[in-house]
Amino acid sequence: MKRIITIVLALFMLTTCTCGAFAEAAAEPVYSTTGFTWQELTRVSGLIDVDDTDIELSSPTTNTLRIYIKIQGTSTMTKIGYTQLEVQYYSGGSWYRLVSYDPKTSTNTDTCVFSKTQYGISSGRLVRLYCRAYAQNSNGQTQTVIFTGDSITCR
């Protein structure tokens, strides 16, 4: 009986110690991400290549964000770009606009790229990218997709 109690106690201690180590590792801030989710807003599809689109956000130094967006078309588009691009911050259970950028359109190409280093972001703030992208082909069909980047913590 003592042996069983000893084994159970040892397993319990091993489990709680292991879980604590994982909990600490999971609590570490994330300073860079290329992950995102996307949502189709139109019935037209197949113009934006979601797999080759890049949404990158990082915080290389204190109070600084590095933003890189590449919207990839499946072929040459009459127009490709975004109508809304924001850095959003998290507070009280909701996401709010922190910084917004002017719309951008590239014509007669298969990509639209935006790159910027944004200064003055509060250290420790949880942020993400929000991008409303579109592509229009030569037939006048337009696909609109919202890309929401995974969140990171600003250094």
CA–CA distance, 52 with 61 (Å, rounded to integer): 27
What's the pLDDT score for residue 18?
38
**Considering the chain, what is the average pLDDT of its residues?**
87
**Shared domain check, 11 and 57:** no
* Residue 16 pLDDT exceeds 80: no
**Shared domain check, 116 and 87:** yes
CB–CB of 104/113 below 8 Å?
no
Residue reference for tokens 């409303």: 132
Find the domain containing 46 and state its range. 32-153
Start-end of H helices in the chain: 2-26
CB–CB of 114/67 below 8 Å?
yes
Helix H or strand E encompassing 114 = strand 104-119
Mean pLDDT across 52-73? 97
**Shared domain check, 6 and 74:** no
**Shared domain check, 77 and 43:** yes
More reliable by pLDDT, 62 or 6: 62
Give the residue among 97, 116, 96, 113 at the shortest CA–CA distance from 105.
113
**Shared domain check, 36 and 23:** no
**Shared domain check, 10 and 58:** no
**Shared domain check, 69 and 21:** no
Contacts of 19 (CB under 8 A, 6+ apart): none
What percent of the chain shows pLDDT beyond 90? Answer: 76
**Shared domain check, 19 and 65:** no
- Total domain count for the chain? 2
* Residue 10 pLDDT exceeds 50: no
